Amino acid sequence: MMKLARKNSAEYGLAEKTNYIEGNCMSMPFTDASFDAVISNGSLHEWENPVRAFNEIFRVLKPGGLFCITDMRRDVNSLIKWMIYLSTKPKEIRPGFLTSLNAAYTISEISTLLAGSELTVANVASEFFGLCISGSKKK
């Protein structure tokens, strides 16, 4: 993923403006209150311990900092699920799509996990295919 990210930033003319650091969302290699915003897209269902990751996001955010975490939603409408499945190419990755979708969370599961974390002030919304967790760290 790091190699792909560097390739993409070079293609977009951003290579000199970007910096990539390998890390783990459950133990980020950054000091407290380092960031104005934290964004995660499509990886929540892979997190070994979501509460620990939520706490890390809280830790690295500056007071007033924003967060947005989006991912698939396991209880997505069946029609949408199968439309995406059938349009996924190459066909060989379709089983991986289903595995990821089955590992995804529902809105109620995420709400329960958030209640046990530092990100207690979060909006959880249902999206077309997934969910969006957003909010800000109190000042």
Q: Looking at residue 107, what is its pLDDT? A: 96
Place of tokens 């599961």: 109
Dihedral class, residue 135 (left if φ above 0, else alpha if ψ from -120 to 50, else beta): left
Instruction: Give the number of other Cβ atoms within 10 Å of residue 92's Cβ.
Output: 8
Selection from 21, 18, 17 nearest residue 2 by Cα: 21
What pLDDT score does 1 carry?
86
Backbone angles phi, psi at 32, to 5 degrees: -55, 145
| Rg of the chain on CA atoms, in Å | 16
Residues 2-18 have pLDDT tens digits of 999 999 999 999 999 99
pLDDT digits (tens, 9 = 90+) for 47-57: 999 999 999 99
pLDDT of amino acid 68: 98
Q: Is-cis flag, bond preceding 95, omega within 30?
A: no
Question: Domains, the chain, ranges and CATH?
Answer: 2-72+106-136 (3.40.50.150)
Record the pTM. 0.90
